[in-house]
Each structure stands twice: as C-alpha cells, then as structure tokens.
Amino acid sequence: MHRYLIKIAFDGTDYHGWQVQPNGITVQEQLQNSMKALYGFSPDVTGCSRTDAGVHAECFFCHFDLEGLIPNEGVIKGLNSVLPDDIRVLECKEVDADFHSRYCAKKKTYLYRIDRRNISDPFSCRFSYRYDGKLNVGDMNYFCSTLCGEHDFEGFSSANRSVQDTVRTVYDCHISENGNYLELFITGNGFLYNMVRIVTGTALEVGKGKIDKNIAEKIFITKDRSIAGATAPAKGLFLKLVEY
C-alpha cells in the first residue's frame, strides 16, 4: 500500500465545505468520485482541515492510500483530467504510511479578504467581502495583536463546534492594506469552528468603533461569544498555507 499526499486549490463557492455530508456536494466527495472514475474504487481521502461551506483554499493538503505505485505526475494529470475546473491538484508526493495530513500539520495560515471599494467588483465578489465604510485599521491591528499567544478561544467559536479543547496558539495575526483590499492574516497551530470568521467580524466592529480594541482579553476570560463581532461571510476566507 502506498500513501500519497496531494496539494490542491479550490474555489469553495459551490461546495458545502470539505467533508462529505448528506445535504450537498463537497470537495472531499468530488475527489473521491474522481478517484473512483480513475482507479475503479474510491479510497478514503483525509484532509488537513474541515473548511466551512463557501470557504476557499489556495493551499490544502490531503492524503489517501493506493495499492499500486503510480508516478506523482500521473496522479496530478489523472485527477485534473476528471475533476471539475474549480478544484485543481497542484502537487503530489508519496509519504510514509504513518503520515497524517491533519495531525502532522504544525501551523496553518488563513487569509480573509475585505474589498473596500464603494461599488462591488463582479470579478472578485465570490472571493471577498465588500465593506466600503470607514475603518480604523490601526485599532484593528491592535486588536489582532492581542490574539497572539496561547489562549482559550471558546468565545471566538460557534457553539456547534465538534471539539472539547478550545485552547489554541496564535503565532501571528495582522491586517495589511493591499490596493482596494484589507487582508487579515492569522497563523496558528489550529482553529475552532468559525474562529477566523468571528475574529474577522470582531476586527471589523473594532474598526468601526463599535467594539473596544481591548475586547479580546474579556472574551478570553468570559468565553462569551455574544460580546464578539458577527461571523464574517465565508466567501472572503482562504486557507493560505499549511506547514508540516
């Protein structure tokens, strides 16, 4: 048995997230169906993260096992020939049998893109959240800096999360101005359900002056989701980098 690790990118707009579920098509399902078309059976494909419906990925890793040895380029070309155009396999390599794309990951970086134009761009509206009001980016960056370190992020997650341990370490969180966009980058050892989108929504409320820039410490102590900002829309979120 040979274990393969592939790096993929996908536009998550038309998918109900990564993981197979009964109420809609997912990225994992598309990959497994494509493998069945190629290899005659559908191996279990394990992803590095459980992205939400509508979330995108520039860098997403997943692994699977095949009995036969297939050249890496053959896996890439074969899968890309049957996958839909909004999912692409970028890289492939054989890894050790005990490698796990999720549990072996050391760091993940997410990007949230905010479009500041006063008229929406039809060519980017699937990949950014438009907000054209005034924002204090300095206060937003101050708030982001207070998230760094090891904290209990329960108050920055949705109630229907599937894990009990809500302590995570954020190594970096900042906002950069890139032309018409504000880009929030956050790197951590793991993220809770909706955590990045809630962080972004809170940063936006801080930028508007509706939430104090020191709110993070209160949320860490009280674990009160209601005092954080709204959950930002999925379409602006990208899994940017996974480090092993």
pLDDT tens track for 69-128: 899 999 999 999 999 999 999 999 999 999 999 999 999 999 999 999 999 899 999 999
232 and 135 in one domain?
yes
Instruction: Report pLDDT for 132.
Output: 87
Neighbour-count burial of 23, counting CB atoms closer than 10 A to its CB (0-12 exposed, 13-18 middle, 19+ buried):
exposed
- Nearest CA-CA partner of 90 in 117, 61, 63, 123: 61
Active site members: 52
Instruction: Report pLDDT for 69.
Output: 87
223 and 133 in one domain?
yes
Q: Which helix (H) or strand (E) holds 95?
A: strand 87-95
* Token pair of 110 as six digits: 């997410």
pLDDT for 12 beyond 90: yes
116 and 221 in one domain?
yes
Instruction: Report pLDDT for 159.
Output: 81
pLDDT for 23 beyond 90: no
151 and 88 in one domain?
no
- Nearest CA-CA partner of 187 in 169, 205, 203: 169
Please give the share of the chain, as a percent, with pLDDT higher than 70: 100
CA distance 125 to 16: 18
* Residue 15 belongs to some domain of the structure: yes
Kindly state the average pLDDT of the residues 133-152.
97
CA distance 125 to 235: 8
Q: What is the CATH classification number for the domain harbouring 67?
A: 3.30.70.580
Instruction: Report pLDDT for 25.
Output: 95
151 and 207 in one domain?
yes
Q: What is the CATH classification number for the domain harbouring 236?
A: 3.30.70.660
Is residue 2 within 8 Å of 94, Cβ to Cβ?
yes
pLDDT band at 160 (very low <50, low <70, confident <90, very high): confident
Give per-residue pLDDT as tens, 199-221. 999 999 999 999 999 999 999 99
pLDDT for 138 beyond 80: yes
pLDDT for 36 beyond 80: yes
Please say whether the dihedral angle defined by the alpha carbons of residues 52, 54, 56 and 62, taken in this order, is positive or negative: positive
- Nearest CA-CA partner of 86 in 20, 25, 27: 27
CA distance 87 to 27: 8
pTM of the predicted model as reported, rounded to 2 decimal places? 0.94
User: How many domains does the chain fold into?
Assistant: 2
Cβ contacts of residue 8 below 8 Å, gap of 6+? 27, 31, 57, 60, 61, 62, 87, 88, 89, 90
pLDDT for 162 beyond 80: no
pLDDT band at 58 (very low <50, low <70, confident <90, very high): very high
Half-sphere exposure of 176 (CA within 13 A, CB side): 9
114 and 84 in one domain?
no
Is residue 127 within 8 Å of 195, Cβ to Cβ?
no
Please say whether the dihedral angle defined by the alpha carbons of residues 22, 24, 30 and 36, taken in this order, is positive or negative: positive
Kindly report the average pLDDT of the chain as a whole number. Answer: 95
* Token pair of 217 as six digits: 């410490």
